[in-house]
C-alpha cells in the first residue's frame, strides 16, 4: 500500500485491558481504525496488576526481557509482554515492571484517594522504556503518537536525549491532549529522583512550569504537533483561562501546530444491534428491545418501572469537571418533573457522599451505583430514555455519542466536544439530536431537562427523534482519516527538511 505508515501508539490505558475513562476507548479504537486503513500500528501500555494474562493471552517476548532503564541512580529491569487487541491483529506491548505497575489502580490510590507518590518515576520510566523497547524491536516508527501527560515525556526525551540517534531520525511526534487539567506536575525536588539535572527546574526550561516540573508542558513544547479531542476544546484551551489551566500562552504560541479532531465511536463495542452486554438487542427499525432494557434497568436499579416516566442515565467519573454540583443543586426541581435517574460513577469521595444522600432521600426516583461497571454502563445506555452530561468542561465526551446510537437522547451543556456533537432540538427541530443548555447553572439545566420531558410526552415526535439519533454516524473512520492526513502532512514536511 502507498503511504503505509508505522505508527507507535502510546497510552497508559487501553480498553479492554485497563480503563478509567474515555482515553482507554480511544486508545483501542483509533489504532484499530488505523490498522484497518492499512497502516502498521503498534500500541504500548503498562502491564498493570489486574490485567488478566490468560484471558488476553499475553506472551513473553524473548528479546524484550530485563531491559535496564535508568531512573535516578538505579537501573530498573523492565520486560515486555505482547498480545493483540481482542479480535484484531493490532499488536499491543505491555511493559512489565512490577514495583511500579503491579497495582490495581493506575494513577490514584483508591485506598487513600490521592495520587500515588511515585507517579513521576513510574511514568518517566514508562516513557524511557518505550523508546528502548522499540529500538530492541528494530521497528522504526514514522509516527510516535503520545497521549496525555503520562506519555508526554517521550517527545521531550527524543528532543533532548535521542536527537543524534539515527534510529529516530524519521520519527514525528504527536501529542494528543484528552484533558488539559491533568498535567503531571511535580515539585522540582523530583528531578533528582528522576536522575535529571537540577537546572531543568529553572525558568526557561521546557520542563519548568510555575515553579514546578510539568510533564505535559514539556511534551507540548517538544512535540512536532499537538492535537486535542474536539475542535471546540482546541479553541477553548487557548482562549479560556479556566480551561487553559495555566498553559493558554504556550498553546497560543503553538496554535499553528495545534488541531482538534473529534473522537469517534467504536460501533463494534457500542451498538445495540450486536451488544452482548445488554439483555435485549434493538435497532432503529425495531425499538421493542429498548423497552425490555428499560424494564431490566429498573429491576437492577430497584426503581419502580413505569413506561410513562422518563429515565435519565448518567455514567461518569465523579469529578468537578462533570457537573455533579449542578445535578445536586437542581435535583429537587428535576425530580419534580417526575423523572427517574440512574447514576453510575466513581471518583471523588465528596461526590460519593452526595450521591448516596440523594438516593437515600429519593428511593423511588434515584438509584446510584458507586462502582466501575462496564456491563451496567451498557445497560444504562440501552435502558434510559435520556442521558445527562452537564459538564463544566468536556474535551470530547463519548457517552453522548454512545447514547445517540442507543436512542437515548442526550441533554448536555454546550462546551467542548458536547458543543461539537449535539444540536438542540428546540433550536432546530429538523436536525436536533438532543437538548443543550449554555449557562452553567441549575436553572439552565432544569430548563433543558424540562424541554426534554415535554417532548417525551409527545410520543410520535419522541420516537421520530430517537430514530434520527440512532442513524447518525460518529464512527472512527472519519477521525482516523483526519489523523492519517495529519501524519502524512508531517511526514512530507519532515522529508523536505
Ligand atoms: P472521561 O474520559 O472524561 O472520563 P468520556 O465521556 O470521554 O469521559 O469517557 C468516559 C468513558 O468511561 C465512557 O466509555 C464511559 O462509559 C466510561 N465510564 C465512566 N465511568 C464509568 C463507570 N463508573 N463504570 C463504567 N464505565 C464508566
Nearest-angstrom CA–CA distance, 313 and 373: 14
Query: Could you tell me if the CB of 396 is within 6 A of ligand 1?
Result: yes
Taking the centre of ligand 1 as the mean of its atom positions, its distance from the CA of residue 268, in whole angstroms, is: 17
| pLDDT for position 496 | 64
Count Cβ neighbours within 10 Å for each residue of 9-47 and write b for 16 or more, e otherwise.
Answer: bbbbbbbbbbbbbbbbbbbbbbbbbbbebebbbbbbbbb
234, 180 Cβ separation under 8 angstroms: no
Which of 21, 243, 370 is the pocket-test mutation for ligand 1 (most atoms within 8 Å of CB)? Answer: 21
178, 147 Cβ separation under 8 angstroms: yes
C-beta pairs of 353-361 under 8 Å, 24+ apart in sequence: 354/324, 354/328, 355/318, 355/324, 358/328, 358/331
Which of 13, 22, 343 is the pocket-test mutation for ligand 1 (most atoms within 8 Å of CB)? Answer: 22
Taking the centre of ligand 1 as the mean of its atom positions, its distance from the CA of residue 317, in whole angstroms, is: 6
C-beta pairs of 450-459 under 8 Å, 24+ apart in sequence: 450/337, 451/425, 451/426, 452/310, 452/386, 452/409, 452/411, 453/310, 453/337, 453/338, 453/339, 455/425, 456/310, 456/385, 456/386
| pLDDT for position 497 | 62
Which of 27, 315, 400 is the pocket-test mutation for ligand 1 (most atoms within 8 Å of CB)? Answer: 315
C-alpha cell at 326: 449542578
Taking the centre of ligand 1 as the mean of its atom positions, its distance from the CA of residue 19, in whole angstroms, is: 8
Q: What residues in the chain have per-residue pLDDT under 50?
A: none
Query: Could you tell me if the CB of 16 is within 6 A of ligand 1?
Result: no
Of all protein residues, the one whose alpha carbon is nearest to atom 26 of ligand 1 is: 374
Calculate helix-pair angle for 324-336, 349-361, nearest 10 degrees.
10
Query: Could you tell me if the CB of 25 is within 6 A of ligand 1?
Result: yes
Query: Could you tell me if the CB of 80 is within 6 A of ligand 1?
Result: no
> φ, ψ for residue 379 (rounded to 5)?
-65, -40
Taking the centre of ligand 1 as the mean of its atom positions, its distance from the CA of residue 324, in whole angstroms, is: 15
Which of 107, 271, 317, 393 is the pocket-test mutation for ligand 1 (most atoms within 8 Å of CB)? Answer: 317
Of all protein residues, the one whose alpha carbon is nearest to atom 13 of ligand 1 is: 22
| pLDDT for position 1 | 53
Nearest-angstrom CA–CA distance, 445 and 452: 11
| pLDDT for position 313 | 98
Query: Could you tell me if the CB of 320 is within 6 A of ligand 1?
Result: no
* Neighbouring C-beta atoms of residue 122, cutoff 10 Å: 21
429, 320 Cβ separation under 8 angstroms: no
Taking the centre of ligand 1 as the mean of its atom positions, its distance from the CA of residue 26, in whole angstroms, is: 11
Taking the centre of ligand 1 as the mean of its atom positions, its distance from the CA of residue 24, in whole angstroms, is: 9
Closest ligand 1 atom, CA of 417?
A: 7
Taking the centre of ligand 1 as the mean of its atom positions, its distance from the CA of residue 54, in whole angstroms, is: 25
**167 secondary structure, DSSP code:** G
Taking the centre of ligand 1 as the mean of its atom positions, its distance from the CA of residue 289, in whole angstroms, is: 24
C-beta pairs of 372-378 under 8 Å, 24+ apart in sequence: 372/19, 372/20, 372/346, 373/344, 374/16, 374/19, 374/277, 375/277, 376/300, 376/344, 377/315, 377/344, 378/270, 378/275, 378/277, 378/278
| pLDDT for position 112 | 87
Q: Which domains does the chain have, with CATH numbers?
A: 6-264+477-496 (3.40.50.2000), 288-473 (3.40.50.2000)
Q: Based on the number of CB atoms within 10 Å of its own CB, is 284 exposed (0-12), middle (13-18) or buried (19 or more)?
A: middle
Query: Could you tell me if the CB of 323 is within 6 A of ligand 1?
Result: no
> φ, ψ for residue 402 (rounded to 5)?
-60, -45
| pLDDT for position 2 | 58
Nearest-angstrom CA–CA distance, 279 and 282: 10
Taking the centre of ligand 1 as the mean of its atom positions, its distance from the CA of residue 20, in whole angstroms, is: 7
Query: Could you tell me if the CB of 317 is within 6 A of ligand 1?
Result: yes
Of all protein residues, the one whose alpha carbon is nearest to atom 24 of ligand 1 is: 372
How far is it between the farthest Cα atoms of the chain? 69
Amino acid at each position: 500500500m502507498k503511504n503505509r505508515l508505522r505508527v507507535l501508539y502510546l497510552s497508559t490505558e487501553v480498553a479492554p485491558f485497563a480503563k478509567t475513562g474515555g482515553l482507554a476507548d480511544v486508545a483501542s479504537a483509533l489504532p484499530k481504525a488505523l490498522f484497518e486503513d492499512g497502516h502498521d500500528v503498534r500500541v504500548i501500555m503498562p502491564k498493570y496488576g489486574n490485567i488478566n494474562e490468560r484471558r488476553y493471552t499475553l506472551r513473553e517476548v524473548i528479546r524484550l526481557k530485563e531491559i535496564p532503564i535508568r531512573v535516578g541512580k538505579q537501573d530498573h529491569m523492565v520486560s515486555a509482554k505482547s498480545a493483540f487487541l481482542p479480535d484484531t491483529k493490532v499488536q499491543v506491548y505491555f511493559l512489565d515492571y512490577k514495583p511500579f505497575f503491579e497495582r490495581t489502580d493506575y494513577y490514584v490510590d483508591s485506598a487513600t484517594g490521592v495520587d500515588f507518590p511515585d507517579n513521576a518515576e513510574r511514568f518517566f520510566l514508562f516513557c524511557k522504556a518505550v523508546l528502548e523497547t522499540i529500538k530492541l524491536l528494530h521497528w522504526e516508527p514514522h509516527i510516535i503518537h503520545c497521549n496525555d501527560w503520562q506519555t508526554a515525556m517521550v517527545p521531550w526525551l527524543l528532543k533532548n536525549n535521542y536527537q543524534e540517534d539515527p534510529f529516530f531520525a524519521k520519527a514525528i511526534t504527536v501529542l494528543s491532549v484528552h484533558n488539559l487539567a491533568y498535567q503531571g506536575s511535580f515539585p522540582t525536588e523530583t528531578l533528582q529522583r528522576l536522575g535529571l539535572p537540577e537546572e531543568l527546574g529553572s525558568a526557561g526550561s521546557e520542563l519548568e512550569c510555575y515553579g514546578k516540573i510539568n510533564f505535559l508542558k514539556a511534551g507540548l513544547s517538544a512535540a512536532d504537533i499537538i492535537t486535542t479531542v474536539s475542535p471546540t476544546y482546541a479553541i477553548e484551551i487557548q482562549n479560556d483561562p479556566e480551561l487553559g489551566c495555566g498553559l493558554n500562552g504556550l498553546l497560543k504560541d503553538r496554535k499553528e501546530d495545534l488541531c482538534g479532531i473529534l473522537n469517534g465511536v467504536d460501533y463494534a463495542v457500542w451498538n445495540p444491534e450486536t451488544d452482548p452486554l445488554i439483555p435485549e438487542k434493538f435497532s432503529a427499525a425495531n425499538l421493542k428491545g429498548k423497552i425490555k432494557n428499560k424494564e431490566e434497568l429498573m429491576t437492577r436499579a430497584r426503581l419502580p418501572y413505569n413506561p410513562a416516566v422518563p429515565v435519565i442515565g448518567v455514567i461518569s467519573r465523579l469529578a468537578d469537571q462533570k457537573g455533579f454540583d449542578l445535578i445536586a443543586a437542581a435535583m429537587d426541581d428535576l425530580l419534580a418533573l417526575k423523572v427517574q435517574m440512574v447514576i453510575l460513577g466513581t471518583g471523588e469521595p465528596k461526590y460519593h457522599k452526595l450521591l448516596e444522600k440523594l438516593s437515600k432521600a429519593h428511593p423511588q426516583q434515584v438509584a446510584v451505583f458507586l462502582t466501575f461497571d462496564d456491563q451496567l454502563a451498557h445497560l444504562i445506555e440501552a435502558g434510559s430514555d435520556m442521558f445527562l452530561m452537564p459538564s463544566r468542561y468536556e474535551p470530547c465526551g463519548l457517552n453522548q455519542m454512545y447514547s445517540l446510537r442507543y436512542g437515548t437522547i442526550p441533554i448536555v451543556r454546550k462546551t467542548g466536544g458536547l458543543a461539537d456533537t449535539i444540536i438542540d432540538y428546540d433550536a432546530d427541530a429538523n436536525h436536533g439530536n438532543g437538548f443543550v443548555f449554555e449557562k452553567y447553572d441549575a436553572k439552565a439545566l432544569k430548563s433543558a431537562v424540562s424541554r426534554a420531558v415535554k417532548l417525551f410526552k409527545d410520543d410520535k415526535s419522541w420516537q421520530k427523534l430517537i430514530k434520527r439519533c440512532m442513524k447518525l454516524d460518529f464512527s472512527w473512520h472519519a477521525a482516523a482519516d483526519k489523523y492519517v492526513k495529519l501524519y502524512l502532512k508531517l511526514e512530507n514536511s519532515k522529508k523536505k527538511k
